[in-house]
Structure 1
Amino acid sequence: MTDKDLYFYEPSKGHGLKHDPFNAIIAPRPIGWISSRDTKGHVNLAPYSFFNAFCYVPPIIGFSSTNWKDTVSNMEQTGEFVWNLTTMALA
């Protein structure tokens, strides 16, 4: 094995590829359909690909986004959201 056989993903140095390889590192990524309501009762459903379960007791689900979305604003306002399972038919 030589240095030419080793590859590193160092985002600060760029990757030179058409698409960021980070999105392909964990595949398939589970999709979390997160639904929420604002204080006026308007419903929002959004897919989150950075999503996972973290604990059984208490049940903890985490998700994140690259920018601020309506889902987070709604959660701040109401303190609630619902995780919805993505089925094969929806995929």
Structure 2
Amino acid sequence: MKPQTLHPDPRISAYPPDLLRPATAAARYDLSRRTLSRLARSDPGFPQPIRVSKRLVLFRRSDLDAYFSSKQAHALNTEDAIHA
């Protein structure tokens, strides 16, 4: 039996809604795609992308949500400590 392939029309997403292309992930978190890839390379705590093929990587939305929530909480705690 032949393995299941992705939909031939690239405009139709064949991925679960929890997986985001870099452009979609960047827009969701108000970043550029370059910043997103820079974070993936330089920040060891940043969720690593899932490599689907040589040219396609996807990010898990739940992992990105957790990462940015923790960064936001850390920033708020640091700000509260400075003003206390």
TM-score by length of 2: 0.26
User: Which structure would you say has the larger Rg?
Assistant: 1
The structure where strand makes up a greater share of residues is 1
